[in-house]
C-alpha cells in the first residue's frame, strides 16, 4: 500500500490544510502558512512592480455556488452577455 505523498507532511508541518467544509481543493491556512503565503505574495508584488508596466491587485472569491439564486442570476446574465458579444462580434 502506498502511503501519503511526502508534501502532505510538509503541509501539515507549516499549517496548510484542506478545508473540510468546502469543495475539494480549497485550502485554509494556519498562522505559519499565512505568514508564508503573505511573504510570497509581497515578493511577487515587488517583482511585478519592477516590470515597468501597470500592475493591479484584484481580490475576491473565485468560486461561487450556482445553487444560490443571486449567483445563478448573475451567471446567466454574464453568460448571455458573452454569447451576445460573440454573436455581435462575428456579424
Query: What's the CA gap between 42 and 24, in Å, rounded?
Result: 27
- The predicted model scores a pTM of 0.55
Residue 82: the pLDDT is 57
Cα-Cα end-to-end distance for the chain: 59
Query: What's the CA gap between 30 and 52, in Å, rounded?
Result: 34
Residue 59: the pLDDT is 76
* pLDDT averaged per 10 residues, the chain (length 91): 83 89 80 96 95 86 77 81 49 46
Residue 64: the pLDDT is 73
In this structure, are residues 52 and 43 in contact, taking their beta carbons and an 8 Å threshold? no
Residue 14: the pLDDT is 94
Residue 61: the pLDDT is 64
What residue segments make up the domains of the chain, in order of their start?
Answer: 1-59, 64-91
Amino acid at each position: 500500500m502506498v502511503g501519503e505523498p511526502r508534501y502532505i507532511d510538509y503541509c501539515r508541518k507549516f499549517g496548510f490544510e484542506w478545508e473540510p467544509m468546502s469543495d475539494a481543493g480549497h485550502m485554509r491556512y494556519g498562522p505559519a502558512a499565512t505568514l508564508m503565503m503573505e511573504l510570497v505574495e509581497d515578493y511577487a508584488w515587488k517583482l511585478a512592480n519592477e516590470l515597468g508596466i501597470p500592475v493591479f491587485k484584484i481580490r475576491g472569491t473565485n468560486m461561487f455556488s450556482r445553487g444560490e439564486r443571486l449567483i445563478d442570476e448573475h451567471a446567466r446574465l454574464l453568460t448571455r452577455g458573452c454569447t451576445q458579444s460573440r454573436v455581435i462580434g462575428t456579424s
